[in-house]
Amino acid sequence: MNLNPAIVIPTYWCGRRSSHSINRGVVYDHMTPIDQPGELPRCLESLRHVVGVDRIILLVAAEPGVENQAAERVRAIVDHFMDLNIVVIGDAEMRHIHRRFEQVGVGEYKGAACLTGYGAIRNLGLIVASIFGHDTVVFIDDDEVIPNADFLERAMHGIACKTPTGSIITAKTGFFYDSYDSPKAPEDVPWYDHFWNKAADFNDYIDGALRGPRLSRSNVCCGGCMVLHADSYGNIAFDPWIARGEDLDYLVNARMYGNDVWFDNQFSLLHLPPEGSQHSSRFEQDVYRWFYEVRKIEFAKTQIDLMQITPSTLDPYPGPWLDSSIHRRARLTAYLRAIGHKEHGEYLRIGNKTIRDAGEFARENCANYFELQHQWPNIVRAMWSNSALATQLGTSGLQSSSASYTSRFSAVTAEQD
């Protein structure tokens, strides 16, 4: 089957002083100051050598007050890559899309597909891909390098194919390896993270997946190495209410709705993030993330139209992080870090206040995603192959060969290499 993938790359920018947090509740792993080149040029350079690249969509997330400068900075970078077909989506382009939301009566969901928050940013990427009629989206991140020319061929392997058990693959992930050529997470953690160390569990899973068949039902999802066919992304949205870990959450959502994300152990890329240090704001967002995930899974069990998810079905990872013990472990870790980490006061505040606030947030918002889900297919359908909107975004060239995402494709048998 001929597929027409778009490569979608979120890129995060801040003012001239390096930052990670753009406001309370939104924390990114890294943001590039607008007076620095950052990692994006290196990523785009590596894409020059990839066979079959059609359209690249850059999503420019920026801290308040520098949105326009960040978009201009990214466009200046793009000017050095005129041989690539790149669409830049900044604040101005997002407003065009949101006006379309209002025109078709879904304006209340603009915040679910915007340039603030990991889940909402990925949703905006899906919307832009649908506007151009791309039946497949390949997500990568701006701090990654594509090492092989056949990257897209590997990305498309198995998509829209039927497995020996009859499942059709509409979503899959690969894995990262680091500058030491390792796909594993470092397991040497400080003593105060004894109750907050997921590396060993993650590595157990990766070991098995890399030894297994090329395609296997996945427990993990790497948002910077992820492929979604329109039959997946047109029906299942990312969750904009989760603080981080939106990629793994997508896998959980897919299972709730009777779908799967598959792991391809020959689909990988090099991850070279800028140097940074763990800090309390990231831990705080992890607390919000896991509390919310656990509560959402419990809430989903009350919905008769959803598949039930139990933590044990996701062992060895992330199963242990999806049960109620996460509350005790988070509190213990906060207080241990308050003793052993230099940010004593911040971790004490997290232990005394954030643990409670995160629980309240989870209870108050666990139903929101399922309300979005009722409307998501209608939203994507309203945006699909919209030539007028594509022109407003600064380019044309719809994918005329792409069928509507609502059309079920004819599956072929995937070889399990």
The structure's pTM equals 0.94
Q: Is residue 21 pLDDT above 80, yes or no? A: no
Confidence band of 413 (pLDDT split at 50, 70, 90): very low
Q: Is residue 221 pLDDT above 80, yes or no? A: yes
**Is residue 121 in a domain?**
yes
Residue 1: the pLDDT is 63
Confidence band of 407 (pLDDT split at 50, 70, 90): very low
**Is residue 318 in a domain?**
no
Q: Is residue 414 pLDDT above 60, yes or no? A: no
How many domains, the chain?
A: 1
Strand pairing category for 5-14 and 136-140: parallel
Q: Which of 20-24, 242-246, 310-314, 335-339 has the lowest mean pLDDT?
A: 20-24
Distances (CA, A) of 8 to 55, 131, 177, 284, 314: 9, 13, 20, 28, 28
**Is residue 335 in a domain?**
no
- The tens digit of pLDDT for each residue in 341-378 reads 999 999 999 999 999 999 999 999 999 999 999 999 99
Distances (CA, A) of 205 to 265, 292, 317, 318, 326: 12, 23, 6, 9, 20
3-state secondary structure of 8: strand
**Is residue 311 in a domain?**
no
Backbone angles phi, psi at 342, to 5 degrees: -65, -25
Q: Residue range 387-414: average pLDDT?
A: 58
Q: Rounded to an integer, what distance in angstroms lies between the CA atom of residue 18 and that of residue 32?
A: 7
Tokens describing residue 324:
């109620």
**Is residue 252 in a domain?**
yes
**Is residue 381 in a domain?**
yes
- The tens digit of pLDDT for each residue in 68-121 reads 999 999 999 999 999 999 999 999 999 999 999 999 999 999 999 999 999 999
Confidence band of 29 (pLDDT split at 50, 70, 90): confident
CATH number at residue 146: 3.90.550.10
Q: What is the mean pLDDT of the chain?
A: 91
Q: Which of 405 and 326 is assigned the larger pLDDT?
A: 326
Residue 279: the pLDDT is 83
Q: Is residue 400 pLDDT above 80, yes or no? A: no
**Is residue 286 in a domain?**
no
**Is residue 282 in a domain?**
no
- The tens digit of pLDDT for each residue in 335-347 reads 999 999 999 999 9
Of 306, 288, 301, which is closest to residue 363 (Cα–Cα)? 288
Structural domain containing residue 265: 5-184+197-276+369-392
Distances (CA, A) of 160 to 8, 136, 137, 163: 19, 10, 13, 10
CB contact at 8 A, 95 and 45: no
Q: Rounded to an integer, what distance in angstroms lies between the CA atom of residue 102 and that of residue 86?
A: 26
